[in-house]
């Protein structure tokens, strides 16, 4: 099988694919225009978040048999359309779970103790000790919207820190040590709310003005899932009013944002979609991509 690697992938994973009998070309800086020209010659492709695989690209690739995304979601791929064309679409849902969970927990600490603001104050040569009285996260309630692989990893860590964990997930009935509740119950009970679900038609803007109104005053929100699940306009309004005390965002409706007003708020911490960006996660992602492609080349699944 001839494979085109379209986004940055660990060298060890490339070597693993080649050792498994695959012919692999690496074009991890390829433009969408060039991809349309060269991809028809390949049987499979490897993508991450950068490369988008939409219907027009799929339509010019009659030989394409498999798409593997190194990562959790498939929102950058027209997956249903690809499958309708007989193309197998796979991802690596387990590989980056621990890294995203750790970023989520780190963000909760940063919000609770104003770590970003205190550090910025020190860099401005200010000693504003009285301005940074914080809160402990132990004893607080964490509400998880979505308890798939990442949500469960967050729950384990939060419970170890002494938090009570409640969760809403329409597709999950039981999680050890987690109380499953309705979305309205979660919104009213949680001191921290963290999102861990894919962006779909059902989840788009599922957290808007009405849902925020049901939250506790002073709630803190973390989103390391996908942009567009939270209505950013409604969140901005709630952060300015103080209804939401703070937010930590790794993902945005537009990436990179074209309107930066949300992340410029003093009670917002932002990062450029780095949830899976650890050496350990990248290694696991690459290895899982290689394993899935080699298995597919041998048995077609």
Catalytic residues: 226, 255, 273
The Cα 180–Cα 165 span in angstroms is: 9
Angstrom distances, CA of residue 264 to CA of 126, 257, 259, 268, 284: 20, 12, 10, 7, 34
Q: Under DSSP, is residue 207 helix (H, G, I), strand (E, B) or coil?
A: strand
Q: In what order do the strands lie in the sheet with 23-26?
A: 23-26, 2-5, 44-47, 66-69, 88-91
Q: Under DSSP, is residue 48 helix (H, G, I), strand (E, B) or coil?
A: coil
Structural element, H or E, at residue 145: strand 141-145
Give the Cβ contact number of residue 177 at 10 Å: 11
The Cα 44–Cα 89 span in angstroms is: 10
Q: What are phi and psi of 37, to 5 degrees?
A: -80, -40
Q: Under DSSP, is residue 13 helix (H, G, I), strand (E, B) or coil?
A: helix
Mark residue 190 as left, alpha or beta (left: phi above 0; alpha: psi -120 to 50; beta: remaining): beta
Q: What are phi and psi of 29, to 5 degrees?
A: -125, 20
Q: What are phi and psi of 220, to 5 degrees?
A: -120, 140
């Amino acid at each position: 099988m001839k494979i085109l690697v379209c986004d940055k992938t660990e060298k060890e994973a490339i070597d693993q694919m080649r050792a498994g009998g695959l012919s692999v070309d690496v074009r991890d800086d390829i433009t969408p225009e060039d991809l349309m020209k060269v991809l028809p010659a390949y049987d499979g492709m490897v993508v991450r978040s950068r490369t988008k695989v939409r219907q027009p690209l799929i339509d010019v690739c009659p030989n394409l048999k498999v798409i593997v995304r190194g990562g959790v979601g498939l929102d950058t791929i027209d997956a249903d359309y690809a499958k309708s064309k007989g193309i197998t679409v796979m991802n690596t849902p387990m590989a980056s779970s621990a890294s995203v969970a750790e970023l989520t927990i780190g963000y909760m600490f940063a919000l609770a103790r104003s770590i970003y603001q205190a550090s910025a104050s020190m860099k401005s040569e200010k000693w504003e000790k009285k301005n940074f009285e914080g809160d402990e996260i132990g004893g607080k309630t964490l509400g998880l919207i979505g308890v798939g692989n990442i949500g469960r990893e967050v729950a384990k860590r939060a419970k170890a820190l002494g938090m009570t964990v409640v969760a809403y997930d329409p597709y999950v009935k039981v999680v050890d040590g987690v109380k499953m509740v309705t979305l309205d119950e979660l919104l009213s009970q949680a001191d921290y709310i963290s999102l861990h679900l894919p962006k779909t038609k059902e989840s788009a803007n599922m957290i808007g003005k009405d849902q925020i109104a049901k939250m506790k005053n002073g709630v803190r929100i973390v989103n390391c899932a996908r942009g567009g699940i939270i209505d950013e306009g409604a969140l901005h309004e709630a952060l300015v009013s103080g209804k939401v005390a703070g937010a930590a965002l790794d993902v945005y409706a537009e990436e990179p944002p074209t309107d930066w007003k949300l992340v410029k708020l003093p009670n917002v911490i932002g990062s450029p979609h780095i949830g899976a960006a650890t050496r350990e996660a990248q290694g696991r992602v690459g290895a899982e991509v290689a394993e899935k492609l080699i298995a597919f080349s041998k048995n077609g699944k």
